[in-house]
Amino acid sequence: MYTIKEATVNDAETIHQLAHKIWPPTYSPILANDQIEFMLADRYATETLSNQIKKNEQIYLIVLDDESPVAFAAFSPDNINPDIYRLHKLYSLPATQGKGVGKMLLNAIYERVLAAGKNILELNVHRLNPAKGFYEKMGFKIVQVVDIPFGPYFLNDYIMQKEL
């Protein structure tokens, strides 16, 4: 049975480990291995995750299957537009994909965004990422196409939004 918990600083290592299990099979069909390694080192260092949680920069949710962590998401108010919340991360282990885990996480985030008095959730997804189809199924619409410099790479993304 799946349950969701809000992450604390003590969960930073768990998120780090999940990311390192999820990213290679998720992104190896669309990104070079050196870019995957660069992005994991930048975004998922345990210290980085700990600081984001400690400073309340991003709220992390973890999905547990009994006691085992299988997925996570992170979201926060947008830095530029206070009327929008941003979904920064939503990842589940390949074995749990298609089993309602992503939908469960999104619904938990929707509740929190609405409780904060906001009703727009925005995210970036790589243009070749099959997750784009999942987000469209969940009601997100493409609002912009962007190429964002990220270290020596570019993030070739769609910005998608959903009105809650």
pLDDT by residue for the chain (164 residues), tens digit each?
A: 899 999 999 999 999 999 999 999 999 999 999 999 999 999 999 999 999 999 999 999 999 999 999 999 999 999 999 899 999 999 999 999 999 999 999 999 999 999 999 999 999 999 999 999 999 999 999 999 999 999 999 999 999 999 99
What ranges do the domains of the chain cover?
2-163
For residues 163 and 134, the answer to whether their CB atoms sit within 8 Å is no
User: E strand or H helix at 142, and its extent?
Assistant: strand 141-150
Q: Which CATH class is domain 2-163?
A: alpha beta
How far apart (Å, rounded) are the C-alpha atoms in residues 5 and 114? 18
pTM of the predicted model, to two decimals? 0.96
